Amino acid sequence: MRSLVAAACIGALAPLAAHAQSAADIQSLRDEIQQLRTQYEARIKALEAKLDAAQQVVTPAQAGVTSSGNGFNPALSLILSGLYSHSRDPSKNRGFSVGESELGLSANVDPWFSGFAAISFDADNNASVEEAYVQTTSLGNGLTVKAGRFFSSIGYLNSQHSHVWDFVDAPLAYQAMLGEQFADDGLQVAWLAPTDTFIEVRGEVGRGRPFPGTNTSRNGPGATALSFHSGGDIGDNSSWRAGLSVLDARGDAGASSTRVYVADGVWKWAPNGNATRTNFKLQGEYLRSVNDDRATQNGWYTQAVYQFMRGWRVGFRTERVNSTLDAGAIPLDGRKNSLMLDWSPSEFSRIRLQYAQDNSRPGFTDGQWFLQYMMSLGAHGAHAF
């Protein structure tokens, strides 16, 4: 009897319990909706406040373009470099030294121009302007104009900053005929052809400030340069670039003029184009310098660099320079072979060990050891091919 009474009570209370549970669920849903509405309204108010604050910095001269002060701050980068050198040549900077460190600043000026500057600091506490130029960004038709101080586009290695080089020092031919690297104050016009194959032509006029120029005081240009480069892909694994360049440096009163011809070529390989773990680069250049008296200098280098595992590379460079005149920044005549091993724990740091056997200076063979570090801080743009 008691069981029947209990069952009857449970049957009578079940609908009431279900109704209570249903009412609780409905109230819970109402609470969630109200909470979402409150959050949504708060978010809208916050966005409207940000919009009002942004609109308050707009001036009539900006014609509807909104910006804040931070938008005008340039991107900053700093390359820190250090070097230990061991050499028999007392004219070299031997022992421990701060390598060439570089402070870079870059930004878009407006929709039509961008700017870049690189300030270099050497081991003797000297600061110099490596590059400082503005260039156009929206001329169209493959055209770009650059004005200021910049590394010339002749050859392959010349336009690259030293921290990008695969070896500690510049090739002998560059040292003898370009004073290591040619940068000038002037104007450059570049044209990129609208073709599947990479074709680029660059023309330059400049003051002729550094060697092989003479920092001429004439009103006209003291140096002109013209370069042509072409390149493309070979299947999925390889790519190439090759070029011809000429630099004409005019002498000032009483000084001879010099013309430097450069032929360069680069071939790169990486499995399926992915160079992250394994890649190989073969690079070479030939330089020939001729002055007004037809005296010549010839030089070349060939180098190969192989990344055999992530972060680790090994490289070999062989080079030769032959001089029939004493017109180089350093009189050089002979051969040099270099072997290097470097480790990059990340894309921002590199440690390099290099040994070179240098026979380019008369009287002795110089066995050179280098230990170098390079660290990149801040924003740093991608490097050229």
Structure confidence at residue 2 as a pLDDT band (50, 70, 90): very low
CATH superfamily of 106-118+132-378: Porin (2.40.160.10)
Task: List beta partners, residue 113.
Answer: 136
pLDDT at res. 22: 64
| Chain segment 206-230, per-residue pLDDT in tens | 999 999 988 877 788 999 999 999 9
User: Quick one: average pLDDT of 27-55?
Assistant: 65
CA atoms within 13 A on the CB side of 117: 9
pLDDT at res. 328: 46
pLDDT at res. 46: 63
In this structure, which amino acid lies at residue 369? W
Say what the alpha-carbon torsion angle 244, 295, 167, 152 is, to the nearest 10 degrees. -50
Residue 108 burial (CB < 10 Å; 0-12/13-18/19+)?
Answer: middle
Specify the range with the lowest mean pLDDT, choosing from 14-23, 155-164, 267-276, 324-333: 14-23
In this structure, which amino acid lies at residue 304? A
Report percent pLDDT > 90 for the chain.
Answer: 64
The domains of the chain are located at 2-57, 106-118+132-378
How many CB atoms are located within 10 Å of the residue 249 CB? 28
pLDDT at res. 40: 65
Q: What is the residue whose two structure tokens read 């470097």?
A: 342
pLDDT at res. 111: 93
How many CB atoms are located within 10 Å of the residue 292 CB? 11
Q: What is the residue whose two structure tokens read 């870049």?
A: 116
H-run or E-run covering 173: helix 172-178
pLDDT at res. 90: 83
- Regarding pTM above 0.75, the answer is yes
| Cα-based distances in Å from 288 to 153, 158, 228, 326 | 16, 15, 17, 14
pLDDT at res. 278: 97
Cβ atoms 211, 331 nearer than 8 A: no
How many residues make up the chain in this entry? 385
User: Quick one: average pLDDT of 75-92?
Assistant: 92
User: Quick one: average pLDDT of 58-79?
Assistant: 57
Q: What is the residue whose two structure tokens read 């450069």?
A: 262
3-state SS class at 14: helix
Task: List beta partners, residue 246.
Answer: 226, 261
pLDDT at res. 331: 64
Say what the alpha-carbon torsion angle 284, 290, 294, 295 is, to the nearest 10 degrees. -70
Structure confidence at residue 45 as a pLDDT band (50, 70, 90): low
Cβ atoms 340, 353 nearer than 8 A: yes
